[in-house]
């Protein structure tokens, strides 16, 4: 995998991914940023959410669960000292669909968090990871 990060101006950068996508990143105002992109640590959490959401959807589809919508709300805490790594991360999964099997949803999320999600496996080395889920009948 290869990513190229190019400076636009000051602490504003654009990452060009191997798959041909751009991710805008900018530092906070305290370091001269102009809020023209996500903070890099936000991108890390977005990667966690994307990785786990894909796992969960693939597992639920194989389990013949009819999901109409899946969202993950991620909250995190960071260390006060430099480097300000994540110390706690909580994922709240909201899975919508018709007659979803609670046990299958729980299993899909557990498999993602405990086995399949590469981002989770990296982040759990510094952060206490937790999750919960809600099923919404749609």
The angle at the Cα of 58, spanning 53 to 60, to the nearest 5 degrees, equals 95
92 and 109 in a single domain? The answer is yes
In a shared domain, residues 53 and 102: yes
For the entire predicted model, the pTM comes to: 0.94
How many domains would you assign to the chain?
Answer: 2
Q: Which domain holds residue 10?
A: 1-38
User: Could you tell me which of 107, 54, 122, 124 has the C-alpha nearest to residue 133?
Assistant: 107
pLDDT at 12: 96
Q: For residue 30, what is the domain's CATH number? A: 2.20.25
pLDDT tens, the chain, 138 aa long: 999 999 999 999 999 999 999 999 999 999 999 999 999 999 999 999 999 999 999 999 999 999 999 999 999 999 999 999 999 999 999 999 999 999 999 999 999 999 999 999 999 999 999 999 999 999
Can you tell me the distance from the alpha carbon of 85 to that of 18, in angstroms, rounded to the nearest whole number?
26
Separation between Cα atoms, residue 12 and residue 14, nearest integer Å:
7
3-state secondary structure the chain: CCEEEEEEECCEEEEEECCCCEEEEECCHHHCCCCCCECHHHHHHHHHHHHHHHHHHHHHHHCCCCEEEEEEEEEEEECCCCCCCEEEEEEEEEEEECCCCHHHHHHHHHHHHHHHCHHHHHHCCCCEEEEEEEEEEC
Whether residue 111 is found in the same domain as residue 97: yes
The answer on 61 and 30 residing in a single domain is no
122 shares a domain with 59: yes
In a shared domain, residues 66 and 118 = yes
Render pLDDT for 55-94 as a digit per residue (tens, 0 to 9): 999 999 999 999 999 999 999 999 999 999 999 999 999 9
Average pLDDT, the chain: 97
Do 44 and 33 lie in one domain? The reply is no
Q: Which CATH number covers residue 86?
A: 3.30.300.20
Same domain, 118 and 88: yes
**49 lies in the same domain as 16:** no
Beta pairing, strands 22-26 & 12-17:
antiparallel
Residue 136 token pair? 């919404």
Query: Do 91 and 53 belong to one domain?
Result: yes
16 and 67 inside one domain: no
For residues 102 and 62, state if they share a domain.
yes
């Amino acid at each position: 995998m290869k990513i190229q990060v190019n400076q636009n101006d000051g602490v504003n950068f654009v990452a060009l991914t191997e798959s041909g996508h751009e991710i805008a990143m900018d530092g906070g105002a305290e370091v001269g940023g102009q809020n023209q992109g996500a903070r890099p640590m936000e991108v890390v959490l977005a990667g966690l959410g994307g990785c786990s959401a894909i796992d969960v959807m693939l597992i639920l589809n194989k389990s013949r669960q009819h999901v109409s919508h899946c969202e993950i709300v991620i909250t995190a805490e960071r260390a006060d000292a430099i480097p300000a790594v994540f110390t706690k991360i909580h994922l709240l999964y909201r899975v919508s669909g018709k007659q979803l099997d609670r046990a299958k949803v729980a299993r899909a999320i557990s498999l993602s968090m405990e086995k399949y999600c590469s981002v989770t496996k990296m982040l759990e080395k510094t952060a206490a990871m937790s999750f919960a889920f809600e099923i919404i009948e749609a």
